[in-house]
Amino acid sequence: MSSRAAWVGLALLAACTADAPLSDLERGAAYVSDPAYRRAALERSLVAPDNGYSALRLERYTEASWGALPVWNPRARPVLVSDLGGPVPNPGVDWEPLDLDVPWEEAALSALGARAFSAYPAQVEPALLMALTDADAPARFGLWVDGDRVGGLVWAETPGGVQPAFSCASCHAIPRDDGPGLVLGAPNHAIDFGALLDASHSAHTSAGRWGPGRVDVTPDDVDNPTVIADLRAVRFQRDLNRAATISNDLMALTVRLETAVITNSREAVRPPRELAFALAWYLWGLGDALPALPADGAGAAVFARECGRCHLPPGLAGPPVALAAVATDPTVGESPWRGTGAYQTTSLRGVARRGRLLAGGAIDSLERLLDPDRVDGGHRYGQTLDDADRASLLAVMRDLR
Ligand code: HEC
Ligand code: HEC
């Protein structure tokens, strides 16, 4: 038995013998080792069992179907600035799968999740070659450069040869604005995946109209690009996905991540379950670093009066709101694939670092959202504030970063 299996076994043994509710890590161990436990977590999490997202999972999230897929943890290495303009590299001695053999402990699992966030080839995408043709190419498609790393991209060894892949950090990290390094989990609202797809096919398709920071994530034949999520706030969301598809908790998030890698591979592979849990556990911890709304002061008072009934403190998130009530562009929420009839009341923890707001990304700043003269875009809350109240509200919101 590998030491990893031993750790998982130990944690599960503890879970079975105690009467106390399971700890988070015991839940993670049960998810890894017990098919009935993870199936129950999936079923519990699906808000609308009849939409396409839920129906596919209810059909295939079984041991015989997706559970039997080969595990994806290929030899890989980061895409480096020195690769730009060069040939696709060959696997070398420094190419490694992620080392999953870590103790089943909080710090070790967080560290594994953090590594995986930027190093795991979450989605192989040949079109990414278009962003690697020359030194200026990454910027043309909104990919960041951090030190020698390009956009969190990874070269992965596949049965069909070496391919470029997104890591989570490609879409879910941005350069710091106060020095070198990245804000991990913050949405990359500059990345233009649709433009990459069009460039690689030398075509003008609907993807070319998504625009930066948006991806059409649903196979529903509807043109409904969705804004990239701020994962630093994921623990605070009551539901996952803008369409509020999944009732959120640590297990629901774990299963969401596992099944996303499966569907992004067109159901060819599945991620190691230890890795899915480590990623979820890592993301769960990111919320700790996000500032909260101040307890008192003028801005906090305006927030409590105008916003707090939906964006509930301390997470500044809340139950979903019917599409017609929030009145923002309903296209994302109407998806027959992910839709539930309502939008996630998105957490505002971290909101000041987001380049695009609302489910379809229609609004580009807090100032614009609260602009009294704005008539388009819905979400009409706070637009009738007087200048002083608006200024104090904006001041506290700008500190939510
Ligand atoms: C190509 C860009 C892209 C990549 C790569 C990507 N995501 Fe996302 N992610 C998105 C978009 C777009 C959404 C919004 C989907 C929605 O709301 O329905 C999203 C939403 C999410 C959500 C839901 C958050 C919420 O609050 O509702 C989670 C969790 C998430 N991503 C985790 C990850 C992880 C972990 C990885 C790496 C394994 C990853 N994503 C890779 C684009 C991406
Ligand atoms: C009736 C409930 C409700 C009230 C009241 C409300 N919001 Fe919202 N808010 C929502 C919902 C639902 C969304 C998501 C809409 C969408 O995705 O299109 C949202 C989205 C947002 C966003 C965009 C977040 C993101 O990352 O996309 C901001 C910013 C925001 N609200 C700020 C405020 C402020 C400031 C107030 C008070 C002036 C307020 N809200 C009042 C329900 C509400």
Residue identified by tokens 């192989």 is: 124
Of all protein residues, the one whose alpha carbon is nearest to atom 34 of ligand 1 is 168
Residues in the chain: 401
Q: Is the CB of 345 under 6 A from ligand 2?
A: yes
Of all protein residues, the one whose alpha carbon is nearest to atom 40 of ligand 1 is 168
Query: How far apart, in whole angstroms, are the C-alpha atoms of residue 128 and residue 23?
Result: 40
Number of Cβ within a 10 Å radius of residue 375? 7
Q: How far is the CA of 379 from the centre of ligand 2 (A)?
A: 6
Please answer whether residues 153 and 130 qualify as being in contact, where contact means their C-beta atoms are separated by less than 8 angstroms. no
Residues 122 and 193 in one domain: yes
User: What residues contact 13, with CB distance under 8 A and at least 6 apart?
Assistant: none
Residues 233 and 122 in one domain: yes
Note down pLDDT in tens along the chain; length 401 residues: 455 555 556 555 555 555 789 999 999 999 999 999 999 999 999 999 999 999 999 999 999 999 999 999 999 999 999 999 999 999 999 999 999 999 999 999 999 999 999 999 999 999 999 999 999 999 999 999 999 999 999 999 999 999 999 999 999 999 999 999 999 999 999 999 999 999 999 999 999 999 999 999 999 999 999 999 999 999 999 999 999 999 999 999 999 999 999 999 999 999 999 999 999 999 999 999 999 999 999 999 999 999 999 999 999 999 999 999 999 999 999 999 999 999 999 999 999 999 999 999 999 999 999 999 999 999 999 999 999 999 999 999 999 99
CA angle 108, 169, 217 (to 5 degrees): 120
Q: Measuring CA to CA, how many Å separate 401 from each of 186, 300, 347, 348?
A: 9, 16, 12, 9
Residues 276 and 174 in one domain: yes
What does the pLDDT read at residue 132? 98
What does the pLDDT read at residue 14? 55
* pTM for the whole structure: 0.96
Query: How far apart, in whole angstroms, are the C-alpha atoms of residue 142 and residue 161?
Result: 26
Report the domain count for the chain.
2
Q: Is the CB of 326 under 6 A from ligand 2?
A: yes
Please answer whether residues 350 and 356 qualify as being in contact, where contact means their C-beta atoms are separated by less than 8 angstroms. no
Please answer whether residues 284 and 234 qualify as being in contact, where contact means their C-beta atoms are separated by less than 8 angstroms. yes
Residues 128 and 231 in one domain: yes
Residues 23 and 77 in one domain: no
Please answer whether residues 143 and 81 qualify as being in contact, where contact means their C-beta atoms are separated by less than 8 angstroms. no
What does the pLDDT read at residue 16? 57
What does the pLDDT read at residue 1? 41
In a domain, 12, yes or no: yes
What does the pLDDT read at residue 20? 84
Q: Is the CB of 351 under 6 A from ligand 2?
A: yes
My answer on whether omega of the bond before 49 falls inside 30° of 0, hence cis, is no
Query: How far apart, in whole angstroms, are the C-alpha atoms of residue 352 and residue 346?
Result: 13
Number of Cβ within a 10 Å radius of residue 127? 18
Residues 281 and 148 in one domain: yes
Domain that holds residue 142: 73-240+256-287
Residues 180 and 279 in one domain: yes
| Residue ranges lining ligand 1, Cβ < 6 Å | 122-123, 166, 168, 170-172, 193, 215, 217, 226, 228-229, 231, 234, 237, 240-243, 253, 256-257, 279, 338
Residues 86 and 29 in one domain: no
Residues 77 and 29 in one domain: no
Of all helices (H) and strands (E), which one includes residue 320? Answer: strand 318-322
